[in-house]
Structure 1
Amino acid sequence: MMMIVPESNAGHAGEIIEELQNVAAERNLKMIVRGHYIPKGDPERPRGEDAFFILEEEQTIGVADGVGGWSVHGIDAGDYARELMKNAMKAIETEPKGLVDPKSVLNKAFLSTKSQGSSTASIVTLKNNMLHGVNVGDSRLRLFRKNSLFYESPIQQHKFNKPYQLGNHESSDKPNIADEYQVSVKDGDIVVMGSDGLWDNLYPNEIVKTLWQNSLGGMLDIQGLATFIAKLAFNKSKQTDIATPFSVAAQEAGYASTGGKVDDITVFVAYIDFV
């Protein structure tokens, strides 16, 4: 935007510009969030083992990924993930308006969850123009700015394909080991967050390409983006002769692996804009 200052006011131009910059800095940013979920297609567990929520009014999102290994004991870890996320939403209702503390929410949800099984968990809120996140396991958030990867949240694994996981079993992890992170955002930023079913099958540069292609028309369809990215990850998970983040990591860990990883896929896309 170009501002023309009349000659008689030229001496005040610096003050006017500074005032405009201060006003802009005080404006709050918000997330416009949409999500898409694709279960991996187990007929015995049609809901899959991921669970998620979007509370746009509270500017908070969360995802939990039930650990499928419990199925050998006849336990559907999706029950644990769903109860954990339900309890997280209840905990958010007790948080001060606009001051959601993801670590506190996760701890309250964990203490209230009684199902068998275990799951990863990630909760993110936007407040004071910063993303505040807490994570246990291998779900991940990536922040894209001007069609480039700007930030990626840390993940936690005991070893390859064995993420940290919350649960009631004595060997399960507890919320105190969760990673916490903060990252400032700007208007126009795009956040893509999801369970490992997303990030095991797609590289960040594939997300960048998708964002670029979908921004050519000047308008972003947030729901369309979430759906497209989820389907892209799902299609790659079915391929057996390509390199994926999962297959490369498996090879580095000493396993013979090619192709995608069939898994439940949860995707959030959030566009950062002024209130």
Structure 2
Amino acid sequence: MPEELSMIAGSSYIPKTRTPPKPAGEDAHFFNQTAQVIGLADGVGSWARKGVDAGKYARELMKNAEFSVFSSAPAAVDPKSVIAAAFSRTKAAGSSTACILSLAGNRLRAAYVGDSGFMVIRRGSVIFRSPAQVWGFNAPYQLEGRLREGPGRAEEMAVEVQSGDVVVAATDGLFDNLFPEDVEAVVGRCLSEGMEPQMVARELAEVAHEKSERRDIESPFSVAAAKAGCKWFGRGGKIDDITVVVAYISRALGNRCIYSHHSI
């Protein structure tokens, strides 16, 4: 019988702009402890050219996603159905990527549209990373109210996790600025210092933010730009909203959770 596991999660969000008219940025996220569900969304910034704040779409989408799992038991949550339910209720203008994760037993299920995603770290190494859904360079799949087939494009997957694993779910603000080995290094250091998930998420977001503002380094985004022949970008990180949710996978004992990270 699979071990009964639980997620202990914390998050951090650094918007790329903290001044009007968009102090809240264009990302949104939630974690529902009862349902054991993580959700992330990244509003597509190109809507700003039409005077639309895509952050409103992302926030409404995640509000509806959390509502759809409110008081649900973990085993009852189907991530793709959560995306579909949230999408059907969201009426704001705009579009967004989305990623929903659900843990039941030792099975971490996921559904996502676009380049918001997750990775699983075990004993200091990334053992799984969700591949981004993109049409091309810097062009992720997205949910948009005018395109009713949006949720049907969601990629579904499941990963068997163990007590001691660390899940890092994030928008592309993290993944465009940190290579997997960068994430491994930050998580490893934080675990060795006994940090809680929220502090680990904060450390990851801050390191990604620092790299996003540098023009003297290679980043996943600059490497992808070069491969796509986009000479306009050059070196450096990508300035963007950065959302990170970190979850420790722990043994569930009654109403308690016991986390013991693997030695690295």
Is TM-score (shorter-chain normalized) higher than 0.5? yes
Cα drift, residue 93 of structure 1: 2.6
Identity %: 45
Partner of 1:198: 174
Cα distance in 2 for partners of 1:160, 1:138 equals: 11
Q: SS at 2:101's partner residue? A: strand
TM-score by length of 2: 0.91
Distance 1:173 1:243, change over 3 A: farther
Once the two structures are superposed, residues 7-62 of structure 1 have per-residue CA deviations (whole angstroms, 9 ceiling, x without a partner) of: xxxxxxxxxxxxxxxxxx55411110000000001532110000000111211000
Q: SS at 1:180's partner residue? A: strand
Aligned residues of 1:95 and 1:101 also touching (Cα < 8 A): no
- Counting only pairs closer than 5 Å after superposition, residues 166-181 of structure 1 correspond to structure 2 as 166-170=143-147, 174-181=150-157
Once the two structures are superposed, residues 188-215 of structure 1 have per-residue CA deviations (whole angstroms, 9 ceiling, x without a partner) of: 0001110000100001101111122223
Partner of 1:107: 84
Question: What RMSD over aligned residues (CA atoms) do the two structures have, in Å?
Answer: 1.5
More helix by share: 1
Cα distance in 1 for partners of 2:71, 2:192 equals: 42
Give the alignment partner of residue 80 of structure 1, picking from 51, 57, 63: 57
- Counting only pairs closer than 5 Å after superposition, residues 1-275 of structure 1 correspond to structure 2 as 26-41=2-17, 43=19, 44-93=21-70, 95=72, 98-170=75-147, 174-217=150-193, 219-256=194-231, 257-275=234-252
Cα distance in 1 for partners of 2:215, 2:185 equals: 22
Aligned AA for 1:105? V
Partner of 1:16: none
Once the two structures are superposed, residues 124-150 of structure 1 have per-residue CA deviations (whole angstroms, 9 ceiling, x without a partner) of: 000121100000000110000000110
Distance 1:151 1:235, change over 3 A: same
Distance 1:191 1:155, change over 3 A: same
Once the two structures are superposed, residues 98-119 of structure 1 have per-residue CA deviations (whole angstroms, 9 ceiling, x without a partner) of: 3211111110111111110000
Aligned AA for 2:94? G
Aligned residues of 1:53 and 1:85 also touching (Cα < 8 A): yes
Once the two structures are superposed, residues 45-81 of structure 1 have per-residue CA deviations (whole angstroms, 9 ceiling, x without a partner) of: 1100000001112110000000000000000000110
Distance 1:75 1:145, change over 3 A: same
Q: SS at 2:64's partner residue? A: helix
Cα distance in 1 for partners of 2:191, 2:74 equals: 33
Distance 1:173 1:69, change over 3 A: farther
Aligned residues of 1:122 and 1:134 also touching (Cα < 8 A): yes
Corresponding residue pairs, total: 249
Distance 1:97 1:187, change over 3 A: closer
Cα distance in 2 for partners of 1:94, 1:193 equals: 22
Q: SS at 1:215's partner residue? A: helix
Cα distance in 2 for partners of 1:62, 1:131 equals: 13
Partner of 1:10: none
| Larger Rg, first or second structure (1 or 2) | 1
Aligned residues of 2:74 and 2:102 also touching (Cα < 8 A): no
Uncovered stretches (5+) of structure 1, i.e. residues with no partner: 1-24
